[in-house]
Chains A and B, each alone.
Chain A
């Protein structure tokens, strides 16, 4: 009998500034975690400034109104922790985990870095050089290249999600101090932001601590911004893009189609059917590609769900000689699955699998804060977590079938991405769909 998970004691408060405060009590290991999410994700990058959200977030720690970069390092790292900086499509999130007795110090440090950056001119220039070097260096890692290519191609260049968070070389080269200052001033709003704190104290005490520390800082902006246009352009016909990486003996493969946002009614059946198709170690595709044929070490499908849109992605890799075989098997299996959906046995197994593993995502302070923050910011509410297992259990075969048909990575308009040897890719894909081969340097 599957029961829902009782979330640990928590309180959620909406502050007059528009900030959402979340306090969660987690007993056991004496740690304190704070996570500040602000509506400053990669989708907010201005046109021609792809990567500015990430660039701005990275610069936060390179100097504040109270201390220089070295002083910021000392402030944070003397506590024995690193500052987490994540820029997703929708948010920028800063986080810290420290021993519980340093909670006040940690909150002060987090808020100072997030809300009082000084963006020194020399640090901006240095960060620009580092980012450009990283963009070039990342080309040596096929998985990083694939991740960049998936969002760029999956959403398309006109979509707010249609570029990698670190941006493109041509845009990063133009970044100036004013860009970072302007981005910070206009996007680091209390309205739309969320501060989550997790510790051993009672939620009311944690809330009081957060409010007390928030009095010490001022939010840079309360400007309202025009909503972005997240409409997707329909695509027709399959096409392939091969990013040429010389002397590769293995090809990274992604098959990408449109997916769903996190708030979609298809969310739960989508998650279930995806687990049966390409999740875990016993999915249909793992069986067909790894277990039965030994074609790859890693096979998966994922629904990449952001707040306003999503992608459905098949991912694997194989040696050059079996690239076409892997593609044929994957496309055939996924097309068939889109017609039939999961078998009754596979559906039951997928639901049990997801249900059993769900609590693992709530174990650590960091995971708990992130899950609760995202649920609130996505408009799902903590009920999304509290009822997760019963909603999983309630997914019917017809719903899973319908979701499989709508979300298969192998549909009309799907894009095939290959990162590997250009000629190998061209030959393997030639009679499958139109193929474009480009040098990998174009992805920087």
Chain B
């Protein structure tokens, strides 16, 4: 299911012009990371994809649905959104009920809901915590509950807002696994992140935003190598990208494998 954004503008009631002409196509099954400084318009853009915000000008198509003509509730069957702070979306008395809430509201049958919940809990390694109250879990596991409660809705498009904030290395790897599995299932994944190394290692396409416009959009290696342009939106290239540049690599590298391959080429 393609996403089509045409000349999108949005101004908050305070007068802040958060988006100033965004045009963008995201194809089915793409894995896209959106980067840029605080206030660049990343969250404002993503909130247009499930109808939480409506364009002041331009429009947003999710498949054949114009977000202006469908309710947020209806769009929820196509676009799942994992908030930055899990505490803003969790409310049920146990993990199983939390994860079942979404698919039940989308009208799946009881058996389907059961299967979707089981799958989402397995994917997020929460199966042994099904009966636990989400608020008895650590913040790390509450984050996984938030992921599971969206994954269980089985939407073709999944949005993540800063999934790795405050997570340790083990849980970042767990979240990367979830994203890899969603990719294998053909889902479109769009992630806002400040974690540029996580972005480099898990996403094929990167969009850099600044002050309400798209600064760069392309293959991860092409975007992440543009140190000077990224600096204008306060993004540093990934660690190994910077190291490769300093060592005089001709190619832009973004992960350990690419780095070591290029290093061998030098010797």
User: A and B from one assembly?
Assistant: no
